[in-house]
Structure 1
């Protein structure tokens, strides 16, 4: 059953239908032509030799040479060949009986005129047969004439008379086949375009929409496969969303659970630092506090990243003076860098428009993560620089260090969550950023397009 529903079968039916129509049309044209186009003409092809032999035989069989006998003989032939002409010349050369003769004939035939007439008719048109009456040539002769067109095959006459009809009939059949083929392929193209449109349109969940299956041919099977694929994609996305939700909840719970013992460890380390310790003990406590701070920062980043990916990190955009805001950020971080022995280079000048539409908490988190990365990964360079820059297309802040670059691993190398948070927050506030890193340091540019 599937085979008979296929497009191949349908197209083969169109071909067979076209061939059948061509054959039927030719048959109909032939019936019309031979039935009505040959009125008054014998359906058989006339043969000159047979007609000549028959005329001579019947002329020789006539015994009574009267006007009534000859007229009856002419009438018999006239019934068979309506377009023929006949006449009788008597033994003394007198023109006696004529039938359907249109040309002017002499009433008295002389030997010279008779010879001239025979010479003119020999091999010419009309076809002429001259036969003597009876057994004696002195009894006179009868003449039969008929147009040579009647000796041509019927198809020649048909194409001469009805050639234009046949031509237009063939053209009509070809056009009919072309129209049927055009409608067939237009239907296929329309269905393919509909399927393409369904592939390009996206539902609210970002997936293609299912298409309606109207037929069970090859395109219908393709549509069914497409619908199955859409269902599988939707099920896969639902599973992925559920797994992502479970993963986020797990991370959030773990972050919360880890902070409680971390706070206790920090409190205990602080208590121990108040005791009388050796120099090695003090260094161990200091290293412990540094590790606690790093772990706390990682947990904070993990929590923030999870909230950002779940679109649950609160965002409130407002206009702020970014030059003043960055100066305040540097005031907070200045003692930290100074304590670690960093060279601090600050060069902030006003923009044409100092106010940006941003979330101050998000922007502060961006600078905190970048400065924290410098402390953790670029401490070997002992340099941090912050400057403002204005171009024709944008205003920007540039944060620089003289570390070993991002391609070289540091002792505190992490999973890169801090920079991922920066990327999400920068794009979430319609800003842009670039990173240039080499062995001599890293430069990060945060851009605000005008």
Structure 2
């Protein structure tokens, strides 16, 4: 009888001790959570007692904290990027507007026909640059809308690419950039959008004109299930290119050289490719910057 009484008492004491320890751990965890709520800290919960349920709960809470921190840091980074982007785009738009104002005054007050013609040409050039930047911004904004759809149909990818390249022939000649192509002569039928493909190629080639030097090489190949287009250009300073950011909005490897660029060209190109179920990636190797674009056949 006494043995049972002693055993029952010992069991009650043990259970009470476990309950007290359990409760203390829960209270300590609550205090830590309250502290982490009020302060930006990398502190994580740690259970000091061998309770599997508490350890599992602690691990799950720590995973949520890690996820929350990642979301917070991403949001802060995006906010900084957005502020920088607004500053950059405001500057890019203000620059041609300021220039336009100056040349309009010069045009208005000039008595020289030659000077007036020159001013008119410059004004037209500035307006074209401004229209291009606004169109790039508008297109990028549309691509951020998940509901935005591109009408897809059967198109000759080879013909679309070649048509876009021909339109840049004079600009490459003026900059002294040699163009080398290696295209299949076969018709390449894909499910895509001709206007979007030409816009992609146009943005890639404009990027070459803005940042490339001496040479550009383009290839168009097919395999059993893919169409593969590559555009490679020599660059003077490959180390200045952050390959992880080339498709990010408003990215410019050298802002000082690209006054008429929004930094949206490659972001738009990749966005359009994805809307046509394609993909795009970039590499830098041996002084060559290469963009590869793939589409399913």
TM-score by length of 1: 0.38
**Could you tell me how far 1:349 is from its partner in structure 2?**
3.5
**Could you tell me how far 1:442 is from its partner in structure 2?**
3.5
> What is the CA–CA distance in structure 2 between the aligned matches of 1:350 and 1:304, rounded to whole Å?
32
Find the counterpart in structure 1 of residue 25 from structure 2: none
CA radius of gyration, larger in: 1
- Select between 261-270 and 237-246 the one with higher mean Cα deviation: 237-246
Find the counterpart in structure 1 of residue 257 from structure 2: 412
- The C-alpha deviation readout for 1:290-315, integer Å capped at 9, x for no partner, is 77766765665555445544536543
- Select between 359-368 and 228-237 the one with higher mean Cα deviation: 228-237
Find the counterpart in structure 2 of residue 372 from structure 1: 206
**Could you tell me how far 1:368 is from its partner in structure 2?**
2.0
Unaligned runs of 5+ in 1: 9-216
Q: Secondary structure at the match of 1:316?
A: coil
Q: Secondary structure at the match of 1:368?
A: helix
Q: Secondary structure at the match of 2:232?
A: strand
For the structure 1 residues 232 and 341, does the alpha-carbon distance in structure 2 shift closer, same or farther, using more than 3 Å as the test? closer
> What is the CA–CA distance in structure 1 between the aligned matches of 2:52 and 2:84, rounded to whole Å?
46
**Could you tell me how far 1:417 is from its partner in structure 2?**
4.3
> What is the CA–CA distance in structure 2 between the aligned matches of 1:244 and 1:232, rounded to whole Å?
18
- 270, 281, 297: which one pairs with 1:423? 270
Find the counterpart in structure 2 of residue 446 from structure 1: 293
- The C-alpha deviation readout for 1:215-273, integer Å capped at 9, x for no partner, is xx933334544358648956985997799699869968996997588568547647846
Note if contact 1:404-1:438 (Cα within 8 Å) is conserved in structure 2.
no
For the structure 1 residues 278 and 444, does the alpha-carbon distance in structure 2 shift closer, same or farther, using more than 3 Å as the test? same
> What is the CA–CA distance in structure 1 between the aligned matches of 2:143 and 2:173, rounded to whole Å?
32
**Could you tell me how far 1:419 is from its partner in structure 2?**
3.0
> What is the CA–CA distance in structure 1 between the aligned matches of 2:232 and 2:262, rounded to whole Å?
21
- 305, 309, 334: which one pairs with 2:169? 334
Find the counterpart in structure 1 of residue 231 from structure 2: 399
Unaligned runs of 5+ in 2: 1-14, 23-49, 241-252
Note if contact 1:251-1:303 (Cα within 8 Å) is conserved in structure 2.
no
Note if contact 1:251-1:302 (Cα within 8 Å) is conserved in structure 2.
no
Note if contact 1:266-1:289 (Cα within 8 Å) is conserved in structure 2.
no
> What is the CA–CA distance in structure 2 between the aligned matches of 1:2 and 1:448, rounded to whole Å?
67
* Equivalenced residues, count: 237
Q: Secondary structure at the match of 2:294?
A: strand
In the TM superposition, 1:43-442 aligns within 5 A as 218-225=51-58, 226=60, 230=64, 233=67, 237=71, 262=96, 265-266=99-100, 269=103, 272=106, 275=110, 276=112, 300-301=135-136, 304-311=139-146, 313-351=148-186, 354-378=188-212, 380-381=213-214, 383-391=215-223, 394-404=226-236, 406-407=238-239, 412=257, 417-438=264-285, 441-442=288-289
> What is the CA–CA distance in structure 2 between the aligned matches of 1:440 and 1:247, rounded to whole Å?
28
For the structure 1 residues 5 and 263, does the alpha-carbon distance in structure 2 shift closer, same or farther, using more than 3 Å as the test? same
Q: Does 1:4 align with 2:42?
A: no
> What is the CA–CA distance in structure 2 between the aligned matches of 1:239 and 1:290, rounded to whole Å?
41
> What is the CA–CA distance in structure 2 between the aligned matches of 1:240 and 1:437, rounded to whole Å?
26
Note if contact 1:345-1:384 (Cα within 8 Å) is conserved in structure 2.
yes
Q: Secondary structure at the match of 2:238?
A: coil
> What is the CA–CA distance in structure 2 between the aligned matches of 1:434 and 1:254, rounded to whole Å?
25
For CA contacts below 8 A with separation 6 or more, give which structure has more relative contact order. Answer: 2
Note if contact 2:234-2:287 (Cα within 8 Å) is conserved in structure 1.
yes
For the structure 1 residues 263 and 333, does the alpha-carbon distance in structure 2 shift closer, same or farther, using more than 3 Å as the test? farther
Note if contact 1:252-1:303 (Cα within 8 Å) is conserved in structure 2.
no
> What is the CA–CA distance in structure 2 between the aligned matches of 1:239 and 1:439, rounded to whole Å?
34
